[in-house]
Structure 1
């Protein structure tokens, strides 16, 4: 396991104490990559990728507010991609990182899109802060059925008696996503996704992250038009990684993203994966290696 430095920083609004892993590259001048996890995950979610990619780049991997070692937000309305994006810029500022490439899984990809849009809105006299973007199983249109499925399990305050039960619980929710996982794989997944508490083993996030999702569903605004945000990414090199069995991101959406993007674009379908790939799969590795070599070389 690649070693990292623990880094604590203040949220953009100054209200919360947040956490990030900082994996230094073998070269002190290594180019930074900011890795942003999915909705119910945390910084540990990228461990399979880091074990392969670590060393060549400086990898900065935050626990988004409400997850992992970051503070829970007493105002659930702040659990949204725009606020998260501001926190990511605050992290970059705190570490003295002027610009970074981004890798975002699911929600992390939405945060990356928000960051690109915010960066585009800055003065043209300022250098860009967002470099090439890798989006893991997320895009400019999200399938409503998959969103409803996610809304159905997020925020449930499940407590497992032990790690075996936690692994079984993770399998129950994510089994179709990883059909080739072994018992060992599920235990490793649970260890990255859950934490020990006084009551038992629980998912490592604030159940209140579900509140904004429930509010969107109740208002009938479950479908959000992300195409304007996607167009704000024009000019940036983008790689879209898609699980071939993904219910959230369709092949048709990826094709339309390619047609409408003004800039370098690549995509890859990862076999035997739904929403979302771990990014250590051979197909994902090859695509990431090719993309970074061309657009963000060390």
Structure 2
């Protein structure tokens, strides 16, 4: 591990031997449930930095927080086989990481793709899931939202500076995120891009775009209601951006019907997916985790 003042870098081997990475915050915090953070499709552990700092340093219940980089993202190695960039393979990678860290159970926070992985973990190892936060994801994905993601990934900008990147990202997503400040956008682009000798590049394997391009969005998308049913007994907080194109208000309503104890937050002025470090979200997430753990005791 290389020690950073806020977190440790943890490297481990996937089941197929690929070297993968996670950040570990509050490593010495051992009493409350640890928290596992799973990012979106092309995102990485840096997205959770501010939330992880809040949860790991909270006076009442400081928690260990582990934020993963999937294969092909962040500091994890790229996979030569694009066919391994799947939710199932990534779920197995997360289980391998938890095993390497000695974590048998935890609360899980999943943004978009991360929430889909949690659905799979509910089938593979439900005992590992003590509480769940879904960030703008559920068992039904709206085709229009996925098409929007396809579109902007296919024309991902190649800015030379962070200032150019901020302008590009704000131009692509600003309509869905009017509530964000300049500081919010700056954090977003610094999490998404990395600096190279040729300028900035998105911090993910470009082949990830191919996995989305293969989807035929003219056909109905498979839902994950069977997997969602395995989560019925687990405390669940569902966060939705009011302007989300991926998680509909109707799907959120149906999730409540399937999961009677589900708690919900709608974030005004944000789309897919809400920035979990903004507004009152860090405090609300921390309080949800505290309630879930208290009810479990």
TM-score, length-normalised on structure 2? 0.90
**Aligned partners of 2:176 and 2:72: how far apart in 1?**
24
Structure 1, unmatched stretches of 5+, are: 121-127
Cα deviation, 1:186-245, whole Å, max 9, x if unaligned, reads 222211110011211011111111222222227x55612211111122211111001111
Structure 2, unmatched stretches of 5+, are: none
Shift of residue 30, structure 1, vs aligned partner: 4.2
**Aligned partners of 2:131 and 2:241: how far apart in 1?**
20
Partner of residue 44 from structure 1, selected from 43, 46, 65: 46
Name the counterpart of 2:271. Answer: 274
Name the counterpart of 2:152. Answer: 153
Q: Mean Cα displacement is larger for which, 207-216 or 238-247?
A: 207-216
Name the counterpart of 1:247. Answer: 245
Runs of at least 4 residues off by over 4 Å: none
Name the counterpart of 1:92. Answer: 98
Shift of residue 6, structure 1, vs aligned partner: 0.7
Shift of residue 287, structure 1, vs aligned partner: 3.3
Shift of residue 155, structure 1, vs aligned partner: 5.0
**Aligned partners of 2:184 and 2:101: how far apart in 1?**
33
Paired residues, number: 288
Please tell me the root mean square deviation across aligned C-alpha atoms, in Å: 2.0
Distance 1:2 1:274, change over 3 A: farther
**Aligned partners of 2:102 and 2:71: how far apart in 1?**
20
Shift of residue 286, structure 1, vs aligned partner: 4.5
Q: Equivalent residues in 2 for 1:97-116 (5 A)?
A: 97-116=103-122
Name the counterpart of 2:284. Answer: 287
Q: Do the aligned partners of 2:243 and 2:271 also contact (CA within 8 Å) in 1?
A: yes
Q: Do the aligned partners of 2:25 and 2:53 also contact (CA within 8 Å) in 1?
A: no
Q: Mean Cα displacement is larger for which, 231-240 or 179-188?
A: 179-188
Cα deviation, 1:107-133, whole Å, max 9, x if unaligned, reads 11111111111114xxxxxxx122211
